[in-house]
Structure 1
Amino acid sequence: MQALERTATDDILDLFDGLMSALALRGEAKRRRERLRSLKDLDEAALLLQQAVRILLDETVPDADLRQRVLNSLGETALREAADAVQALASSDDDPMLQVLAGSYATVRRFLPALLNGLVFEGAPSAKPLLDAWHFLQQLEQPGRGRPKWAAAPAAVIPKSWARRVFPGKGEVNPQAYTLCVLDRLHQALRRREVFVPSSERFGDPRAELLRGEAWEAARDSVARALDRSTDPAVELARLQQQLHAAYTEVGTNLAHNTALQLLQADGQPYITLTPLAAQEEPGSLTHLREQLARQLPPVELAALLLEVEAFTGFASAFTHVADGQTAANDLPLSICAVLLAQACNIGLKTVARAEVPALTLPRLSWVQQNYVRVETLTAANARLVDGQAGLPLAQAWGGGEVASADGMRFVVPVRTIYAGWNSKYFASQRGVTYYNFTSNQFSGFHGIVIPGTLRDSLFILAGLLEQQTSLDPREIMADTHGFSEVVFGLFSLLGFRFSPRLADLPDQRFWRLQKEDDYGPLNELSRHVINARLIAEHWDDMLRLAGSLKLGKVKATAVMRTLQRAGSLSGLGRAVAELGRVEKTLYLLAYVHDEAYRRRILVQLNRGEGRHALARAVFHGKKGELRQRYREGMEDQLGALGLVVNALVLWNTRYLQQALEQWPETETALLPDDVARLSPLLHEHVNMLGRYDFTLPESIAAGQLRPLYNPENWQERFAPVE
């Protein structure tokens, strides 16, 4: 019952968030339409008033005759009408949300009583005015006498931009405007976790599980050692100062020789630009190697590929029954592979069901999907595939798993659900979700998060590193611009990770320094912004406590990111983390503009993630590539199955590429290590994903042997029809 209560509470809050967002979008569209319709009247009124002002500014008109001259020329009635039109139509300093939500009270009123009586909200000290207003609305819903009067409504929650509409006169309150304002403030505070619901899992208090009191005192020294940090902020600030000075000196010294970097000025302000990286040339030996290896890969059905990888890794044993104590079903690996294929290819269980095979009947597959396939088992099975990939010599030639990239795949969700969001850029007029996933430099995907719509990536980027459950230990992560924020830089630094985003707006970035009097030569003007070191020193202990709580899994990274990035309930701590992030971002920017190899390494890893997305798109081909799950759990299960199947395909390709490379010296020249390092297992032309789903495997392959490679001279025979 407690688990169901948490789930139901999350659903209610997701529905509230989605409804308020939908009302805002609908109201904004209506406001824009009305604005366009009123522009003609506004222009006419403005032109008339413009003539009056010109007469007013005419120095040849005597002051005594000024008013009469204006009235005679333009007419008193026309002037009054023009002034009234400008007052009614011109934009004011009101909050845009006031205009957007103005016509939504009838909709809000339908669910407001249930929301007031059904959930208990708590908040940080800064949320007290909002909670007072919320309790006032709750009292208004109580039956009987003794309800408060609207004149007693708490006013502290109402910002100046709403004040004129909420309080039209002295002692007067507009109930509809007051209610809409409180709901809008609640919506925003809930998003940044300034207000939370104790009975919720995703909307709970992010501070509740932080180390504190005696627990923190006992753990402080061990946390500092684990993070390789000093408990003395002066020591840390001195280290950062030394790093900044060395980085600025290196970039300034080599500025004349760095042909890709230009230091320019616009409106007296310096900025930098970088020449885009030139395409990396591919030697003929690499092209030949790729072509020959691709021709040698044996053709395989995707169903048989999954069975073969299962025989090699035993990943199906990670799928356990949802109820403890259940005996393993007969031929469970066969059923598991069929369910995974159906979900990953987005084709449904009926397509892979076989009435003549007991393990593949439709009732059996449906039972297995309901009882065995869930986030926990998918995560455990995926860890086995990642470990299998990490143990292959060829994968180790690509990297040691210490580097990863993060990016999102967008999926249109055409069914009605509260777990999808709007974004015209990615979903046109429909809704969708983002599958934010993490790819190691060994091409394996080690974590994935389902995000409604397209929320800011930086909210989730740290969660992928802290919550992943594989043997990999990535210490550096690459991301696109959407994954960037100064808070992310600060938290990554505190936790011992390196954040390396690809920034699209480099000329707009600020470079920071710790001490105003430092001399950085040609970069002096560029680095004119000064870090608030005092803020870092004052909150250093809290920053270590936050990092230790994240490292030990006491608090969820996503909830912390929400509060810190919006400077909400954690007070000055969020700003202190951002100040540290500015130092780390400056160190990153200096390395980025100085080192071409570093920029290329970021680009290569991001390209690996994008290549993996292309492979996932090829696998997820059914139903127009649209995700048709209505509930978050179903989305997580299906996209988790997609990630697992892509990992299986990558692992299969890596094994066979490695076998072909072992035989290469017998027929070809010596292998170049640089060529091997630039190979990719993201191939699928030899894998049949359409139409045939034959879950049979030769005994030799099931026993662990590999399929024979094809002769590259006769590679077209792979696609000859079977007699």
Structure 2
Amino acid sequence: MKRLLSVTDEFNFDRYPSARILQHRSRILTLLDWTPFDESNATLIAERIQLLAQQQLKPDQVFVAAIDFCWKQRIEIPTYHQLSTVITDSFNIVESSLLNTLSSELREDEKSSLDVLLANPKNHWLPLLGQIKQVNQSLRAKDIQQNVNASRTLRDHFEQFRSIFDELNLNQQATEYYATWVQKATLTQVKQFPNPQKRHLHLLSFIKHQYYFRQDVLMDIFLKSVRTATNGVNKKLAQKEQKTQSERKTAIQTINTSHRNSRHLLDEITRIVRCKDQSDSERMEKIERLIDDYEALQGDIKTEKLQFYEQLLDQHTEGQHYYDTLENQSLRLQRKVSSVLKNLVFDKASSEEPLFAAMTHFQVTDGNVGHSPPLDFLPEKEQDIVAGDTTFRTSLYKILLFQSVADAVRAGKLNLQYSYRYRAIQDYLIPTARWRKERDRLLTLAGLQKFADGASYLAELKTTLESTYQAVNGRFGEGNNTYLSVDDSGYAKVSTPGTSFSEDGYNGTLLKENGIVPILRVLRDINRTSDFTRYFKHLSPKHHKLKPNVETVLAGIMGMGCNIGIDKLSQISVGINESTLKNTVNWCFSLKNIQAANNVIIGQIDKLALSNAFQKYPDQLHTSSDGRKVNVGVDSLHASYSFKYFGKDKGVTMYTFIDERHALFHSTVISASDREAAYVIDGLMQNEVVKSDIHSTDTHGFSEAIFTATHMIDTAFAPRFKKIGEQRLYGFSSKSTYQRRGYSIVPSRTINRKLILKNWDDILRFMATIKLRYSSASQLFKRLSSYAKDHPLYRALKEFGRIIKSQFILTYYDDVELRQRIEKQLNKVELANRFSAAVFFANNQEFQVGTKEEQEIATACKVLMQNAIVLWNYLYLSQRLSSTADPDDRQDMLEAITSGSIIAWAHVNMQGEYDFTRPAANDDVFDMAKILALKLG
């Protein structure tokens, strides 16, 4: 580089003329194939920053994202002043635009309607705003009605301001930001806005956010209630089945006996009648004797009993008992969900017409469906059963309608109009009109330019996949892959030698040598090195000067991260004010703040030479993720039943991401019934400090569509399959073509190129939506997967993912080191889950909060504590290494340390300290004389 720039070692920067600086900068950019920061690129960067500002990200996050964007686009990094100016201007432009819109569009009567939310209504001590803030997490009928009433109130306000919402055009992130402020604020704080337009902006955002959120809540209640009712019906049928099993057996035996007797009588009578050798009187006499014998045989079987047995078997064979049981359960379910269904707003354009018509009829008639409601959504058999022979079975109709609505919502055939989680898939994607108009620019902003031409990109993948088949089969055929075997049916098996990985061992021993360390000391030590508590800022720093002290922040982290609870921790702690602690947690413990604090700890881990010694390759970071089931000890709409994990209780899944340096860089809490695969991309994209090059999960984190998404965000997906040989391989040519080449490992199916190319533009739009944070990957994948095989985009995503999956499986067969790395990395995340249980120890490790937001904040605090312990362990072991003077001893120690895990916690006291100092004599708590003298009655 010195030669290319004509620079000598004796170069004097004081004599570096500005013209030469510009010349050298231009040459450096050319050599590195970067573009200069010119007017065109400045506009592109400003556009990217504007998108982030609209999402109300914090300025420092936008700054980092802008620099990352420049690196990916190979654009010269602007100066700090240039970037900060653009960021400041973007935030001011966004807010000014919103306030100007309100100034011109909001009428005086509408302003008054907003301010009514802050006033105390008649006959109620709580202002209307306070009444609609809290969501009741119970599924009891009276508690459900509270949520319905709140949703009605919000609907009335939402309808009044719908045109204003259209003018503001706030995205989801910005809406949530302003709404969260109102949610946390007291009535006085909301009233104290010096600018009334800002107050109205916050209140409007609260109304919109809460209405969307409440629609989701009502749908959650509806789905859970219908499922509970259906499970109750099935349980009753199973109990009835068990109870009547012997009775049916007796019925079958009795009816069979009666049938044999009748058949024998008929056969004998037929034989006698057809006998020509006897007179009529002789034949009649024999027939009468046969009848007498038959009546004697049938004497033990009463006619009434035979009829009862026949009816019992008729019910069993026709399924009538199922519908009777369903009908009996209907009234109870109606009391819970009729009002819920009446207040859900469905989207006609994206919903199936027959069911939409039936549901609309139910809403319009206020649940009084009459005797001829729409029946077309039901199968013909059920239509006949509901119509009945003489009377329309209204209760049965309603519960069948409820079940049909629930099934259709889960399948994406019935969608809500105003919702975060139950809209049609197209509503989550970048709008079609904008995509068609700005496709190329959006692909550039999303870093997806190389995928623009689907046909040429598939051609590249075909070449790569074909060469991989050739290489893997060549090594196997030559006997150079002794860990792979293929049986006669083509089933492949691999064996993987174990690694020397030790979960604790040497590191645990070293860490315990200095005694047991209180968790509070660990947090204090790490805060002194990283100052992570500075990120616990007030939600609205422009309007509040609260800066919590360090001890209060640490108390909040421990109260939630250890699952002790804020109330209890303040009561058992010295030096903590309960009111101050609650206020700090309310305003400063946002998920973004905790994640920012986590990021600075991870940044400290990244700076340590010892942490990087755990990375197999310096230019390739391997990460993994896994879930841990956790019970929820309170009412929670977010929790779900799973007998396998929780018995009769409910719970959720803590889903955690970790890299090979043992840094936990992302966490979320999902329903225990959700598939983990939908959340993999969120974890890889929603962090700012870890760029995963390879990511591993177990089977629960795998889907073929995830292979597509990880490929397009430049992360190699490397899951662990329980039975790798059962995974189908795909190729661009037919199976026979590969067999003719003498290959042992051949694809079982051919890639459907037409399907991929036909939907290629939708695939790009789908990925651009994720990368530009228009919607989260979990939102898209959860909604899209509910369509199952019916949606062409989902089929195309899976088909493209099969190419990438096949490439991975072939590499997995051939690369024993890769298999070892995957196993080792998944061992780390499994160890991290046990570590999680040790930190989250209180209240029997059961969540004591019911909402998803509260559970995620508690989980983020727990992860912060885990990372703090990991960093403390690194610092302690690094100090031991630096204190070891002999190079050979140091090398031996380093090898011993890196063969184990830094995740160790036996040396950390999570549960506080006990004071056994002798109390003074006058410190007695109980007055025994008074207690013993107490007379009752």
Please, what TM-score do these two structures have when normalized by structure 1? 0.83
SS, match of residue 449 in structure 1? strand
SS, match of residue 886 in structure 2? helix
Question: In the TM superposition, what is the alpha-carbon distance from 1:183 to its structure 2 partner?
Answer: 1.7
Question: In the TM superposition, what is the alpha-carbon distance from 1:105 to its structure 2 partner?
Answer: 0.8
* Paired amino acid for 2:700: H
Change (3 A) 1:7 1:126: closer
Equivalence for 1:127: 352
Distance 2:312 2:306 in 1: 10
SS, match of residue 207 in structure 1? helix
1:89 aligns with 2:316: yes
Equivalence for 1:263: 486
Q: Within 5 A, what are the aligned runs for 1:174-213?
A: 174-213=393-432
- Contact 2:789/2:795 (<8 A) preserved: no
SS, match of residue 476 in structure 2? coil
* Paired amino acid for 2:868: A
Equivalence for 2:101: none
Question: In the TM superposition, what is the alpha-carbon distance from 1:543 to its structure 2 partner?
Answer: 0.8
1:239 aligns with 2:460: yes
Distance 2:388 2:399 in 1: 15
- Contact 2:331/2:395 (<8 A) preserved: no
- Contact 1:408/1:435 (<8 A) preserved: yes
1:683 aligns with 2:904: yes
Distance 1:65 1:122 in 2: 72
1:4 aligns with 2:220: no
Change (3 A) 1:288 1:432: closer
Question: In the TM superposition, what is the alpha-carbon distance from 1:240 to its structure 2 partner?
Answer: 3.1
- What are the Cα deviations for residues 182-208 of structure 1, in whole angstroms up to 9, with x where unaligned? 222322333344433333333344422
Question: In the TM superposition, what is the alpha-carbon distance from 1:681 to its structure 2 partner?
Answer: 1.7
Question: In the TM superposition, what is the alpha-carbon distance from 1:514 to its structure 2 partner?
Answer: 3.0
Equivalence for 1:321: 538
* Paired amino acid for 2:625: A
Equivalence for 1:519: 737
Equivalence for 2:230: 24
- Contact 1:478/1:499 (<8 A) preserved: yes
Change (3 A) 1:141 1:329: closer
Change (3 A) 1:131 1:497: farther
Q: Identity of aligned pairs, percent?
A: 23
Equivalence for 1:487: 705
SS, match of residue 623 in structure 2? strand
Distance 1:123 1:19 in 2: 24
Distance 1:561 1:589 in 2: 23
Which structure is higher in RCO with an 8 Å CA cutoff and minimum separation 6?
1
- What are the Cα deviations for residues 241-267 of structure 1, in whole angstroms up to 9, with x where unaligned? 3233223333333335344333236xx
Distance 1:520 1:63 in 2: 73
- What are the Cα deviations for residues 493-514 of structure 1, in whole angstroms up to 9, with x where unaligned? 3443322221124343322233
Equivalence for 1:39: 245
Equivalence for 1:309: 526
- What are the Cα deviations for residues 44-66 of structure 1, in whole angstroms up to 9, with x where unaligned? 455677789999999xx999879
Change (3 A) 1:495 1:469: closer
* Paired amino acid for 1:686: H
Distance 1:208 1:693 in 2: 57
Change (3 A) 1:198 1:152: closer
Question: In the TM superposition, what is the alpha-carbon distance from 1:539 to its structure 2 partner?
Answer: 0.7
Distance 1:674 1:636 in 2: 37
Change (3 A) 1:13 1:683: same
Equivalence for 1:720: none
Paired residue for 1:427, among 630, 646, 650? 646
- What are the Cα deviations for residues 537-571 of structure 1, in whole angstroms up to 9, with x where unaligned? 21111111111111111122122112322336983
Distance 2:715 2:725 in 1: 25
- Contact 2:624/2:696 (<8 A) preserved: yes
Question: In the TM superposition, what is the alpha-carbon distance from 1:81 to its structure 2 partner?
Answer: 6.7
Paired residue for 1:623, among 843, 856, 859? 843
Distance 1:380 1:32 in 2: 52
Q: Within 5 A, what are the aligned runs for 1:232-381?
A: 232-255=453-476, 257=479, 258-264=481-487, 270-275=490-495, 277-281=496-500, 290=507, 293-295=510-512, 299-329=516-546, 332-349=549-566, 352-353=569-570, 360-381=576-597
- Contact 1:456/1:482 (<8 A) preserved: yes
* Paired amino acid for 1:10: D
SS, match of residue 195 in structure 1? coil
Structure 2 stretches of 5 or more lacking a match? Answer: 1-206, 273-286, 916-937
Equivalence for 1:390: 606
Distance 2:366 2:508 in 1: 73
Change (3 A) 1:57 1:207: farther
Question: In the TM superposition, what is the alpha-carbon distance from 1:691 to its structure 2 partner?
Answer: 2.7
- Contact 1:549/1:555 (<8 A) preserved: yes
Equivalence for 2:683: 464
- Stretch moving more, 595-604 or 577-586: 577-586
Equivalence for 1:139: 364
- What are the Cα deviations for residues 439-477 of structure 1, in whole angstroms up to 9, with x where unaligned? 1222122221112334211222222223x2322111332
Distance 1:174 1:429 in 2: 33
1:633 aligns with 2:633: no
Equivalence for 2:793: 573
Q: Within 5 A, what are the aligned runs for 1:159-178?
A: 159=379, 162-168=382-388, 174-178=393-397
* Paired amino acid for 1:464: G
1:406 aligns with 2:625: yes
Distance 2:522 2:692 in 1: 28
Equivalence for 1:453: 672
- Contact 1:132/1:154 (<8 A) preserved: no
Question: In the TM superposition, what is the alpha-carbon distance from 1:600 to its structure 2 partner?
Answer: 1.2
Change (3 A) 1:633 1:330: closer
Paired residue for 2:378, among 136, 140, 158? 158
Question: In the TM superposition, what is the alpha-carbon distance from 1:605 to its structure 2 partner?
Answer: 0.9
* Paired amino acid for 2:466: H
Please, what TM-score do these two structures have when normalized by structure 2? 0.65
Distance 1:280 1:402 in 2: 19
- Contact 1:408/1:437 (<8 A) preserved: yes
Question: In the TM superposition, what is the alpha-carbon distance from 1:308 to its structure 2 partner?
Answer: 1.7
- Contact 1:224/1:231 (<8 A) preserved: yes
Equivalence for 1:598: 818
Q: Within 5 A, what are the aligned runs for 1:110-121?
A: 110-121=335-346
1:106 aligns with 2:322: no
- The structure where helix makes up a greater share of residues is 2
Distance 1:99 1:571 in 2: 36
Distance 1:211 1:351 in 2: 46
* Paired amino acid for 1:430: D
- Contact 2:430/2:774 (<8 A) preserved: yes
Question: In the TM superposition, what is the alpha-carbon distance from 1:675 to its structure 2 partner?
Answer: 4.8
Distance 1:356 1:580 in 2: 56
Distance 1:212 1:693 in 2: 61
- Contact 2:215/2:418 (<8 A) preserved: yes
Change (3 A) 1:282 1:370: closer
* Paired amino acid for 2:728: R
Question: In the TM superposition, what is the alpha-carbon distance from 1:164 to its structure 2 partner?
Answer: 4.7
* Paired amino acid for 1:615: F
Question: In the TM superposition, what is the alpha-carbon distance from 1:162 to its structure 2 partner?
Answer: 4.0
Question: In the TM superposition, what is the alpha-carbon distance from 1:337 to its structure 2 partner?
Answer: 0.6
* Paired amino acid for 1:610: E
Change (3 A) 1:72 1:498: farther
Change (3 A) 1:139 1:328: closer
Distance 2:811 2:693 in 1: 17
* Paired amino acid for 1:202: R
Distance 2:633 2:451 in 1: 52
Change (3 A) 1:209 1:563: closer
Question: In the TM superposition, what is the alpha-carbon distance from 1:305 to its structure 2 partner?
Answer: 1.3
Distance 2:682 2:900 in 1: 30
Distance 1:370 1:383 in 2: 21
Distance 2:394 2:573 in 1: 67
SS, match of residue 637 in structure 1? helix
Change (3 A) 1:603 1:46: farther
